[in-house]
A and B are shown apart, each in its own frame.
Chain A
Amino acid sequence: MAASTGKGGVTSFQKKSRTKTLQIPGTRPSSQGNQLLVSTGVPSLDHIIGGGIVVGTVLLVEEDSFGNYARLLMKYFMAEGIMTRHPLLLSSAELHPKQLLRDLPAPVSDDIGKAALHQEDVSSEKNVEKEATMKIAWRYQNLRTEQPELGAFSKFGHYYDLSKTMSSEMIDTAPSRLFYLPDELPLEEQGMWNSIRNPAYVKLLQSIQDVVREGQFDLTVPQPKDVSRTVLRIGLHSLGSPLWGEQDGGTSHDTSLPHFLHALRAVLRTSLTACLITIPTHLFQDMAFTRRLEKLCDSVIRLESFAGSEKEQNPAYKDYHGLLYIKQLSQANSLLSYMPDCNDFAFKLRRKKFAVEKLHLPPELQDSQQREQDDPVAALKTPSTGCFSTSGKSKLDF
């Protein structure tokens, strides 16, 4: 891949790349093909979905029952956009997008420090001191001693501290466009379905198209060479909730949301955008409807939080806050999607990290389990998960 990662390379070797990939700060090429990836803001989540969100595709997050963790993922996504200086488009129906933006987690402090240092370095001259002549590695004597730090904004994937919020200057200076449904579409019009389309979704799609056109993210329109391109991050929070006017609780007969997703795909595929949508699919009565929505998005993950369910007391899950299921991974521009090692993931939320980890079923917790009903770990070992539930009750009688 072309040298775009900005690590301090001391050699002059540069791999010749045949394909010309756009070099945009905050993105990196995927390992599968010459596609650009954008970070979701959670580095461990990036890792399990194949490096990040592919530019031009949609990552669908099926919300947990209370919506907390999905909202958190949206905040990470937006915060990452601010750190990498990608313009944002945020839409929401119940919570004003400004409130969501005001509450973004602050980046972990050493990233800020580097960013500040970088500003000073650029303005002042680089001061290269002559070190003592090298005796062993003399070949490297004449090379520069320091590579310039490219700064935090071109790094891929930052860590955030949830106990602090991002400074308001950073948020205000970031280019963003907000779509708050009650502002854009007055309440009287929301219920009016004069055709089979939900007017709320139509308005949203039109505003997305406007932003793409104005911000020059459209790839079909040729741009002059010196215009630096960047990626637009679109966050659609809690789409398909009753506030958007979903009628009948989401049955298979309702085609507004599928049509919106299909038309959105048409817009995204020809522009430099990455989209994160959260949908409360647990509200839909019909699984078939959810499945259709999933097929129309590129990557799908589902969150299940333990809050309020009996799994909270389960000792196997005691370190974690919830489970994460990968339901589908993006196949855009490639023959196959990224294949993860396993499909059992759990997430835990710490102050400075939202970590997604492989869930390992622990071995027998205690030797003296009298009755099988008492052993909660054994209850987890269902045979249907395939290759990974290898541990079973192995009390061999001799």
Chain B
Amino acid sequence: MEDSCVRGQFVLISDSLTDGSFLIHHFLSLYIKGGWKVCLLALAQSFGHYNAVGQKLGVPLTQAREKGQLRFIDGLKCSLQMYTCAPQEGQGENPLRALRDKKATLRPLYDLVKTQICSEEGVLEGPTLLLVDDLSVLVSLGVSAKDVSDFMHYCRVLMCPTQQGYCRVLMCPTQQSQGAIVSLVHKDADVEDEENSTLFRHMAYHGTVHLAVEGLSSGYSRDVHGQSNLY
């Protein structure tokens, strides 16, 4: 695995029968140490979790958050608010309105991400990473794979616009893509989960790098946790 932060990458992490979230922590610490601005869309864990691990890895996340280098979007809190507020109250500004309202999409979430990382003109200021942990939670909560895929497509256009090879020739050299995206999808091999598989296929199509994390094919071993492949 490369150790330097590369721009214009859409990295997809998929895990099967194991947990690939250690890679999220790895990327988080790598990019924060590299001086990038990071927007962490945390749908699976609380800030305390990332902070506790970050301290062990030598990355002080609370300071990064105060300085503004890390923008944290607390998905757990938004989800809780959506769950417990009465339907008569307007859902207001909650970015996860799609969880209650079947007709809504993840557009408010995309707008929130955009306001967090872009300047007023709507362009990225400096190298920025969008880290999504993780997309399968959105599917479990009822968002369709199509909506999630659209959301990630918009994010990709925002973060790494020069994906196709031929475009690079036509664009001016100063318009190099500034951002990168890393996202995590669960893809368990022994269970038939249609929505998750559809989402995985869409993400694999969009992504430039695919890291697959799985257990050892020979069974459970205490010291070696698993293997990962790079595509």
> Which B residues touch A291, using CB under 8 A?
188, 191, 193
Judged by a CB distance under 8 angstroms, whether B56 is at the interface is yes
Nearest 3 CB-CB pairs, A to B?
A386-B219, A255-B142, A288-B193
Alpha-carbon separation in the docked complex, A339 to B220 (Å):
10
Complex interface: stretch among B5-13, B43-51, B113-121: B43-51
Given A202-B83, A288-B193, A33-B219 contact (CB < 8 Å): no
* Chain B residues within 8 Å of A, Cβ to Cβ: 19, 21-22, 25, 45-46, 48-49, 52-53, 56-57, 76-77, 79-80, 83-84, 87, 99-100, 102, 136-137, 140-142, 186, 188, 190-196, 216, 218-222, 225
Q: Is the CB of B83 within 8 A of A292?
A: no
Judged by a CB distance under 8 angstroms, whether A262 is at the interface is yes
Alpha-carbon separation in the docked complex, A260 to B80 (Å):
9
Q: Is the CB of A341 within 8 A of B222?
A: yes
Given A263-B79, A334-B53, A270-B46 contact (CB < 8 Å): yes
> Which B residues touch A33, using CB under 8 A?
52, 56
Query: What are 12 A-B residue pairs whose CB atoms fall within 8 Å in the complex?
Result: A195-B87, A205-B84, A262-B140, A263-B76, A292-B136, A292-B193, A295-B186, A334-B52, A339-B225, A384-B219, A385-B219, A386-B220
Judged by a CB distance under 8 angstroms, whether A321 is at the interface is no
Q: Is the CB of A205 within 8 A of B140?
A: no
> Which A residues touch B136, using CB under 8 A?
292, 295
Given A288-B193, A386-B218, A386-B221, A296-B76 contact (CB < 8 Å): no
Alpha-carbon separation in the docked complex, A386 to B100 (Å):
44
> Which B residues touch A343, using CB under 8 A?
220
Q: Is the CB of B83 within 8 A of A259?
A: yes
Q: Is the CB of B25 within 8 A of A267?
A: no
Q: Is the CB of B83 within 8 A of A260?
A: yes
> Which B residues touch A255, using CB under 8 A?
140-142
Q: Is the CB of B191 within 8 A of A287?
A: yes
Judged by a CB distance under 8 angstroms, whether A348 is at the interface is no
Q: Is the CB of A266 within 8 A of B49?
A: no
* Chain A residues within 8 Å of B, Cβ to Cβ: 33, 194-197, 202, 205-206, 209, 252, 255, 258-260, 262-263, 265-267, 269-270, 287-288, 291-292, 295-296, 331-337, 339-343, 384-388
> Which B residues touch A334, using CB under 8 A?
52-53, 56
Partner of B140, one of A258, A270, A335, A337: A258
Partner of A263, one of B25, B53, B80: B80
Output the least CB separation between A173 and chain B (Å).
Answer: 32
Given A255-B140, A267-B80, A333-B53 contact (CB < 8 Å): yes
> Which A residues touch B195, using CB under 8 A?
252
Output the least CB separation between A287 and chain B (Å).
Answer: 5
> Which B residues touch A342, using CB under 8 A?
220
